[in-house]
A and B are shown apart, each in its own frame.
Chain A
């Protein structure tokens, strides 16, 4: 039963007293490409995760019982992670062209029908600085941006280095990753062989996979977008299932006209 004042247990950032209401939205998760829940509050991006109680637990809240036993976690999320696949899609890089420079509105405006909420990303605080971390920036009358693969690699590498340097100070991380082999090694040596390999090729091979999974059209040829595969009508779909065994094609009965 739905109650009017549903309560949730949520661990989140401190919210200033006069803050605007948070915007909650679905965006493509950069890691899986599947829709995931994100929150924008005060110009900052947060990831929302739910620890599902699977209907087995409830919460006592004061004198009431809340049947939804899930725990919600709202944690800060580096917008650059979100930006990289989007920027990669939008620049339309091809084998011989580096792709397009785009305005802020161009990047988030039309990228995906599936995720109209992407436009909210343009309102993030310091979005131009985040973009500049991984993009070439052209300043004319308006600022335009284009993803730069080398900058992306540099940025990712720094992220890894920061992570490695803090790794052992977080016991929970050490414990949880102890059973996988490669990461502790990375921590010991501070090197990431996989990353070096990628850098030598100065491109990110799996990048376009990102976009594909997130439902964004990643065809290099912008034309390919317009030629949608024709949709079949209901009748045609039924016919597609019809057995045509023993039936000759029309062309075997009627001659082609020249």
Chain B
């Protein structure tokens, strides 16, 4: 059985908002390591991998691995009934028929309990190897969200060029063209806003902006985002949380003139 108590319920709410826009149904794979989720979008060109490590919960108990098949829209609706300051407890027994959620508000002694029906979902897990990427950009997540949103006005795809000097996001469309360049800086005063680049080799890749904008739904989860790129492999967009991460993978657009 699973029992996981999360002090800041808002975290789970934000996590759901971040993945429900990309996938419909998914298994939450619970093990003694924590709660994980891996799923591809409908077109199979993007993948989301979520991990909520066990140490983010207090207490966390999972004796036997469990796959909880959840409709994410339904779960996010139930989570909307939880306040941001509520303590959320997730429970499921080994049959995995229902997921019970308890929302406790310590301020006004309110306890709400919900049960969500679970379903069987066939899911294939992809093995994602640890790779060294040619370029890794760490930047403000809000800045990344803004760039994607702004460039979407011009085009459906963005070209990301990473060099030692900085990272350039460029878009070209019928309307015209636009580019945003962020210079590498070690701004110590504003650590949150600094753009840091680790580079083995310059890269230049094209990605679908609609997908990138979709990924930025995770912005509230972390102030920083990292973009890891190598030519002809999927881009990794990672938002790190205190105890876990949400990672999006997106296939590059190949053979497109831009």
Q: Chain A interface (Cβ within 8 Å of chain B)?
A: 230-236, 238-251, 253-257
Q: Which of A236, A241, A244, A254 contacts B21 (CB 8 A)?
A: A236
**Cβ–Cβ contact A255 & B127, under 8 A:** yes
**Interface flag for B124 (CB, 8 Å):** yes
Q: Which of A231, A234, A242, A256 contacts B208 (CB 8 A)?
A: A242
Among A230, A249, A250, chain B packs the most CB atoms within 10 A around the CB of A250
Interface size counted on chain B using CB atoms at 8 A: 40
Number of A-B contacts (CB under 8 A): 104
A247 to B23, CA, bound (A): 18
Residues of B within 8 A of A254 (CB): 47, 126-129, 249
B150-165 interface mask toward A, CB cutoff 8 Å, 1 = contact, 0 = none? 0000001000000000
The secondary-structure label for the interface of chain A is loop
**Cβ–Cβ contact B156 & A240, under 8 A:** no
**Cβ–Cβ contact B21 & A233, under 8 A:** yes
**Interface flag for B217 (CB, 8 Å):** yes
**Interface flag for B190 (CB, 8 Å):** no
Residues of A within 8 A of B125 (CB): 256-257
Q: Enumerate 14 A-B pairs (CB-CB under 8 Å) in ascending A order.
A: A231-B73, A234-B21, A236-B41, A239-B41, A244-B43, A244-B45, A245-B256, A246-B256, A247-B43, A247-B251, A250-B46, A251-B126, A253-B233, A254-B129
**Cβ–Cβ contact A247 & B253, under 8 A:** yes
Question: Which residues 25-81 in B have Cβ within 8 Å of A in the complex?
Answer: 25, 40-47, 71-73
For A255, the closest partner residue in chain B by CB is: B127
B223 CB to closest chain A CB, in angstroms?
22
B165-196 interface mask toward A, CB cutoff 8 Å, 1 = contact, 0 = none? 00000000000000000000000000000000
Residues of B within 8 A of A236 (CB): 21-24, 41-42
**Cβ–Cβ contact B214 & A250, under 8 A:** no
